[in-house]
Structure 1
Amino acid sequence: MFIRRVLTTPAFRLKSPFDELEEMRGRMAHLTRTLENDAAFTPSAGVFPLINVTEDADNYWIRAEIPGVKAEDLELTITGDHLSLSGERKIAEPGASAKWHRREREAGKFSRMIKIPDRVDGEKIKAGMADGILSIALPKAASAKPRHIQVG
């Protein structure tokens, strides 16, 4: 009787390679249930605004998607090799009697800090907005522009 109890306990059972897969499947199912029921994992607006930084021979270009934001609600500041873009996105509230079905667009203040790859001429920076896209031209400083050297 003692031998049968010792040999039939789960500790002496040989594990199949599929036992670990079954355990992993159970943990993944638990994780999925947890994430589905957790209100902390609701979708949010994410990083706003979305930004592209490119360059050509004379300028660095920053383009930001800011639909619905007015120019007077934006503030641009350049300090050394960083450009600060901040502002506020305002969205009209539908009213107290409205029933929400989905809310993905967020209102509020935002701020982004963008590192500029090299020195720029701060006196010649130009910014404009069209169709919800903010375009900023940052002219490269003379020391940052590539120079052609004649071999002679």
Structure 2
Amino acid sequence: FTNGAHIDSLDPASYNRWYDFLELFVAHKAPIENAAITRAAAPVIYQAAMGLPQTDLVTLPVDPVQALPTYGLALAAFEKTPEVTVDFDNGAGSSPTAQSTAGNPYSGFEEGFSSIPVPGTSAETWYLGPGGTLGDGLPASVGVDEYTSNAD
């Protein structure tokens, strides 16, 4: 699952995983069969979806599953990947060609987990508080909360 309608759900790493899933579990084919076409189309797709300039080429990272020659090998490799992958610092990473353009859809790093909630963690509820704080208590007043990023 992804983070709602945010564009970061379309980042190149997620795109690869989604493509692999569709090829393996819907088309029942080895992802390598159409990987070259998918990779060639990626810059055009990202330019259209994100409104990037022609000079800003977003490419897909190397995907070991797409390099495997048979359906069976690709399926086995895909099934060994973590059930949950979290990409952190989206927009702060580098492309597969080591280019770093602020805001491009590459994560700074990623971690894999076996399930949600992540083992060893517990859920907490936080509320907006006065002066831009976060707290674990219900707000004292009822109404609309607002947040302005970079108010300067």
Regarding TM over 0.5, the answer is no
TM-score, with normalisation over the residues of structure 1? 0.19
Structure having the higher Rg: 1
- Bigger helix fraction: 2
Give the structure, 1 or 2, with the largest relative contact order (CA under 8 Å, sep 6 or more).
Answer: 1
